[in-house]
Amino acid sequence: MISFASFKPILIAAALTSVFFSASSQANQAPELPSFQQCIERLQQQARSAGVSEHTTTAILGQIKPLPKILDYDRSQPEFVQTFSGYFSQRVTNWRINKGREKLAKHRKFLEKLTRQYGVPAHYLLAFWGLETNFGGIKGKIPTIAALTTLACDQRRSAYFSEELMQALLLLERENLDPKHMVGSWAGAMGHTQFMPTAYMKYAIDGDGDGKIDLWNNEHDALASAAHFLQNLGWKAGYRWGREVLLPQGFNYQLAGKSSPQTLAFWAQQGVTQVDNKALDNSDLSAALLIPTGHTGSAFLVYGNFEVILRWNNSEYYGLAVGHLADRIRGQGALSKPLPDLPKYKVVEMQQFQVALNQLGFDVGEADGILGPATRKGVRAFQQSVGLIADGYPSTETIAAAKISVK
């Protein structure tokens, strides 16, 4: 592991001191936070304005007690940077592939009906279901109303969770739900497909025609709701999410990145091929190139439906896992390249690396320890400037070069 001890410690310390001083000053000047009971009263007023009944407002919302562990979950930060290899290997597993195929056989006729109606193929619906809850095996057990109330009374994202709470209360009444059975994740996501209350209210539908919408216990409701949701997010029928591709020797990695899409014809001209070495279609279909593990790992061209997947969960890793899991459930093979064994960086080390790149003039945005698109773009530019393969991945060689450069 590369040490960052020589990264201009005075400048970094000064920056951190400035941030701390600013935060401390703001904290000292901020008004005293309202008590939980005062927050409940505010939320009750908001609930009445939103159309929640007086009974629910008083007998349910009025009796909620805070769940301190929810704030612990919200504040928890990973110690290590999540690599694509680690993320992918934990999510696209043989168990999920096989279970997805079992569910495909079980629900085939119903899933074919959904595809005709909403344009979303079965294997994608199953991939979302598998990643969200292990096909219903892990739906969460935290009381939804209490979790959302706790988060709504926390200042960090109060407005967002206050609105989600209002929708949860309206949902409880619309579907005549028992609050004790209304459980899910710590952040309020519910059911087989982990819908937040606003998504549940707007997109959940009755899949089996029994007159009720139950995403906790009814698999047909959950699958139909997922298809309806994806259609409304913009899913284009007849198109796939993307595909793994092969890159030629000497490829210009500056072309990579979700923000730099090109036509398939363009990628074909650059020597990019399908994994079986067949040529790409010579079309004007737009695709962006993603290289999540650097030049030693797999490369992917992603299309418009990949953006739709990101509207469900805005993580490129998640999108790639959904797409590949869907392909595997459908019967396609594994990645053409084994997942590389990547360096394991602590979040603080990645933050220090980002600080160094910013100091060197390669803008990666906030030093948050996340290996996102802005960081990868800055890394590519830095790598090119020092003669390394500009694949955007912070290899040990790249970090060592940055360390030397800031001396």
* Residues paired with residue 289 on neighbouring β-strands, in sequence order: 301
Contact between residue 181 and residue 203 where contact means Cβ atoms under 8 Å apart: no
Angle between helices 108-118 and 94-106 (to 10 degrees): 90
Q: Are 321 and 88 in contact (CB under 8 A)?
A: yes
288 and 261 in contact (C-beta within 8 Å)?
Answer: yes
Top CATH class of 36-76+139-218 equals mainly alpha
| Alpha carbon distances (Å) from 314 to 176, 203, 388 | 32, 18, 30
User: Which residues lie across from 262 on neighbouring strands?
Assistant: 287
Q: What share of the chain in percent tops pLDDT 70? A: 92
Quick check: 81 pLDDT over 80?
yes
Question: What residue ranges of the chain are covered by domains with CATH 1.10.8.350?
Answer: 36-76+139-218
Q: How far apart are CA 23 and CA 25, in angstroms?
A: 5
Which one has a higher pLDDT value, 215 or 15? 215
Report the pLDDT value the prediction gives residue 17, as an integer from 0 to 100: 32
Tell me 277's DSSP state.
S
Residues 270 and 246 sit within 8 Å (Cβ to Cβ): no
Q: Which residues of 41-66 are buried (b: 16+ CB within 10 A; e: fewer)?
A: eebbebbeebebeeebbeebbeebeb
Rounded Cα distance between 203 and 215, Å, is 11
Question: 243-297: per-residue pLDDT in tens?
Answer: 999 999 999 999 999 999 999 999 999 999 999 999 999 999 999 999 999 999 9
For the chain, what is the radius of gyration of the CA atoms?
Answer: 24
pLDDT digits (tens, 9 = 90+) for 163-189: 999 999 999 999 999 999 999 999 999
CB 124 within 8 A of CB 130: no
> What does the pLDDT look like over 124-164, one tens digit per residue?
999 999 999 999 999 999 999 999 999 999 999 999 999 99
Six token digits for residue 315? 């993580």
Tell me if 255 sits within 8 A of 381, measured CB to CB.
no
CA-closest candidate to residue 406, choices 353, 331, 344, 366:
353
Contact 201, 170 (CB under 8 A): yes
Category of 404 on φ-ψ map: left (φ > 0), alpha (ψ -120 to 50) or beta: alpha
CB 264 within 8 Å of CB 281: yes
The DSSP symbol for 288 reads E
- Token pair listed for 264: 């398939």
The CA distance from 291 to 322, in Å, is: 16
Residue 11, pLDDT above cutoff 80: no
d(CA 399, CA 386): 11
Q: Is 316 helix (H, G, I), strand (E, B) or coil?
A: helix
The tally of CA atoms less than 13 A away on the side-chain side of residue 304 is: 13
d(CA 374, CA 237): 31
Residue found under tokens 């009720």: 212
Q: What is the DSSP letter of 155?
A: S
Task: Enumerate the CATH 1.10.101 domain ranges in the chain, comma separated.
Answer: 347-405
Q: Residue 286: which H helix or E strand, with range? A: strand 286-290
Distance CA 377, CA 391 (A): 9
Q: What is the CATH number of domain 347-405?
A: 1.10.101
Residue 93 pLDDT: 98
Nearest one of 295, 394, 292 to 351, comparing CA atoms: 394
Which amino acid, residue 60?
Answer: I
Taking the whole predicted model, whether its pTM rises above 0.75 is answered as yes
The 10s digit of each residue's pLDDT in 21-80 is 233 333 333 334 569 999 999 999 999 999 999 999 999 999 999 999 999 999 887 899
Rounded distance, CA 251 to CA 291, Å? 12
3-state class of 190 per DSSP? strand
